[in-house]
Amino acid sequence: MKLKLAKLAAAGLLTTIPATSWAQAAGETMDKGDVAWMLVSTLLVLMMILPGLALFYGGLVRSKNMLSVLMQCTMITAVVMVAWVLYGYSFAFGGAGTYWGGLSKLFLSGVTMDSMAATFTDGVVIPEYVFIAFQMTFAAITPALIVGAFAERIKFSALMVFTLAWVTLVYFPIAHMVWGEGGLILGWGALDFAGGTVVHINAGIAALMGAIVIGPRIGFGKDMMAPHSMTLTLVGAGILWVGWFGFNAGSNLEANGGAALAMINTFTATAGAIVAWSVIEGVMRGKASLLGAASGMVAGLVAVTPAAGTVGPVGAIILGAIASLGCYIFVGPVKNKLGYDDSLDVFGIHGIGGIIGAIGTGIFTSTALGGVGYGDGVTMLGQTLIQAKAVGLTILWGGAVSFVLFKLIDMIIGLRVTEEEEREGLDQSSHGESAYHF
């Protein structure tokens, strides 16, 4: 097992990369246990979005914007699923290429019930439809994460246009570069087990660009903008944690020891992050808050995402704790100092947590720190530099394209609702309904 993992690491294959053309070989075997696990994992990731992320975000905004966040998450999920089937899967996994997968799988061309996708074990496969659905949920949750940065002030129509353009020009190419056959970042040997770069850094940097371009909420820094329901936020966070086992352990593509390692790391990193955030708050503020515990929970989950399949359980605890410290600094002192309104701390938690997790993967994968080890000839320093290089490209690509998209959409149709609509709340002004009736 150790030699197999080291070989995969050396080839940059400890990622969810089924490159379906690789699976069509003689002697391939499909195990019903693997298929059942991947079906369940796919549903768990969907549960992360609806209702998990929707409730997590919904509880954090003011009550007059609760339904707007639920609607945004719902529609983003549907729009991206349609785009994924029509062309997104082809762009990401349609074939070999440095930056994209090509057009061969447009409209899922050639995919049937008999089509198979490779796993990490030679000759072991799962139905391609299962892999398509699994990766589709990843594509759907990533732009849904972004909306937290400019909640309570963005036009619904503008958000839908941005979502479609962003997944086309940012998510699908980055997904291919990290996980697809011949992908640029994959070729460097970067380790991203379940989406530290593809999902979290990608979403975090786009969220920061959106917060900057759209500008702060009316009354930001002056009015009270406290979460209207920490109860719902914790419910959402809890659902996210449960769903994350599909996200991380499911990225192993098989129900075996690799999935078990990813599973226990998803427990331990998250627990370490919750404890660390609460301790930091206790020291800095004198009191530990539920909001802080929920934030630490997500920070730990984000940080362990790229590392789940290669670090050890104790290393995961340390990685989660480090992520909490870094995220705490960015959602507090840094954001306050720079004055940008990342409403629900998407950049501060997903962006920073993703960066810490991706770079930390290069460190904690070391056998000396309890990880599975590197490939032949790869050192801790070498792997960490590769990880940093992957992080840098993701930030540059995602940040630049996101900024341009926000600017273009603002020029053409406008990004922000009117002042009157913002004061009224997006539930009524954008959707004509209210979350609560007293």
Percent residues over pLDDT 70 in the chain: 94
DSSP symbols for 116-164: EEE-SSTTEEEEHHHHHHHHHHHHHHHHHHHGGGGTTTB-HHHHHHHHH
Q: Is the peptide bond before 216 cis (omega within 30 degrees of 0)?
A: no
311 neighbors 361 (Cβ within 8 angstroms): yes
Tokens read off for 107: 């409209």
26-30, 93-97, 333-337: least confidently modelled range: 26-30
**pLDDT of amino acid 6:** 35
The predicted model gives 405-431 an average pLDDT of 98
What confidence score (pLDDT) does residue 247 get? 98
The amino acid occupying position 418 is T
pLDDT given for residue 438 in this prediction: 77
Mean pLDDT over 117-124 rounds to: 92
State residue 387's pLDDT score: 98
Residues 244-255 have a mean pLDDT of: 98
Distances (CA, A) of 261 to 18, 126, 229, 345, 365: 20, 20, 34, 29, 12
Provide the 3-class DSSP secondary structure of residue 19. coil
pLDDT at 1 over 60: no
Distance of alpha carbon 86 from alpha carbon 363, whole angstroms? 39
CATH class, range 2-424: mainly alpha
Domain ranges across the chain: 2-424
Calculate the alpha carbon distances from 94 to 63, 117, 369 in Å. 43, 12, 37
Give the DSSP letter of residue 29: E
The CA-to-CA distance between both ends of the chain, in Å, stands at: 60
Q: Is the pLDDT of residue 190 over 70?
A: yes
- pLDDT greater than 80 at residue 413: yes
- How do strand 29-30 and strand 116-118 relate by DSSP bridges? unpaired
Q: What is the pLDDT of residues 360-405, one digit of tens each?
A: 999 999 999 999 999 999 999 999 999 999 999 999 999 999 999 9
Does the structure show a pLDDT above 70 at 15? no
The arithmetic mean of pLDDT across residues 319-333, rounded, is: 98
